[in-house]
Amino acid sequence: MNQEHVKLAIAPIGWTNDDLPELGQENTFQQCISEMALAGFIGCEVGSKYPRDPKVLKPMLDIRGIQVCNAWFSTFFADGLKEKTIDEFVNHMNFLHEMGAKVIGCSEQSRSIQGTSKGVFEEKPYFSDAEWQRVAAGYNELAKIAASKGMQVCLHHHMGTGIQTAEEIDRYMSMVNDDVYLLFDTGHAYYSEGNQPAMLAILEKYLPRINHVHLKDVRDEVVAAVKANKLSFLDGVKKGTFTVPGDGVIDFRPVFKLLDEGGYRGWMVVEAEQDPAIANPFEYAVKARRYLRATAGL
C-alpha cells in the first residue's frame, strides 16, 4: 500500500477496555501511549484514561510522535435524543479538531446491547422505519456540522447495535447523503456475517465512501462458542473473539489490495480488544505491526 496515502494507528482499547474498565485497569495512560510508539505506530484513537484537555494531551502525544486520528462518539437518534446528541457531538468535534483529527467515528447506540449481558446475535436491536428515518436525518445533520470544520463523519457498524449486518449497512448507506461515510471494521463485518467473502463484499461495495478503517482479526472458535451458548458481546471479548491482524482467521491481503486499488486515503487502526492479562497489549501491538509491514508494506 502507498505509505503517502495510508497511516497506521492503534486503539487504546487493547490496553484498557472502556466497555469493561476492569480489563486493563492496571495499565496507565502513559504506558499505553509509550508502548504504542515503541511498537511503531504513529496514530491512535482516544480512550477513557486520556486527558481531554488538548493542551495537556497534545504535548504528551507529540513527544512520542503520535497523532489522534479519531475518537468514538455515541449517537442516539433512533431513541429521539437528537438535540442532546448534537450538543455533545459539537463538543466532541471541537476536541478532535484541536487534536488535528479529520474524521469522527460515530456509532448509533440506541438500544445497543454491546455493553449488556444479552446474547449478541439473539437480542440485538432492530429499528422501525421511523427510527431509520431519524437516524439518517441525524447523520446528515452531523455531516453538515462537521463540514464547517473541514471534517467528515463516519458510522461504525458494530455488533450488538441496530446497524450490524450487511443488510443494515446497506439500508443506512442508501438513506444518508453522500457526505456521510462508513467506518469499515474488518472484525465486526466478519463477526456479523460469519465469513471472509461477505466481509470483503461490504468493503468492495462501499470503498468510495469508506474514510476510516479498523483492522481486527477474529477467532472462529470463539464466535462459534458465542453462538452456541448465546453469549453477550463482552463475554466474547473476554474469551478472545477479537485479536490483532495476523493472529486470527482473516486473510488481510485482499483487504489491503481492495483499499489500495480503490485509492483509499486515511488511517488504518489496529483495534483488537482482548483481556490484557491474557493478551499482553505491547506484545500484540508489536505482532500486529510486524504483520502489517509484511503484508501491507507499511
Structural domain spans, the chain: 73-278
Three-state DSSP class for 248?
Answer: coil
Residue 159: φ, ψ to 5°: -60, 140
Spatial CA neighbour of 34 closest among 294, 285, 244: 285
Strand order through the sheet with 67-68: 67-68, 43-44, 6-10, 266-270, 210-215, 180-185, 152-156, 103-108, 73-75
CA distances from 233 to 126, 141, 151, 195 (A): 16, 30, 31, 18
The single-letter code of the amino acid at 160 is G
CA dist., res. 198 & res. 186, Å (int): 11
Query: What string of pLDDT tens digits covers the 298 residues of the chain?
Result: 998 999 999 999 999 887 777 787 888 999 999 999 999 999 999 999 999 999 999 999 999 999 999 999 999 999 999 999 999 999 999 999 999 999 999 999 999 999 999 999 999 999 999 999 999 999 999 999 999 999 999 999 999 999 999 999 999 999 999 999 999 999 999 999 999 999 999 999 999 999 999 999 999 999 999 999 999 999 999 999 999 999 999 999 999 999 999 999 999 999 988 889 999 999 999 999 999 999 999 9
Q: What single letter denotes the amino acid at residue 229?
A: N
Show the cell assigned to 199: 466481509
Q: Which amino acid is at 290?
A: R
Burial (CB count <10 Å: 0-12, 13-18, 19+), residue 130: exposed
For the record, the C-alpha cell of 154 comes out as 463516519
Q: What is the pTM of this model?
A: 0.97
Q: Which fold has domain 73-278?
A: TIM Barrel (3.20.20)
End-to-end CA distance of the chain: 7
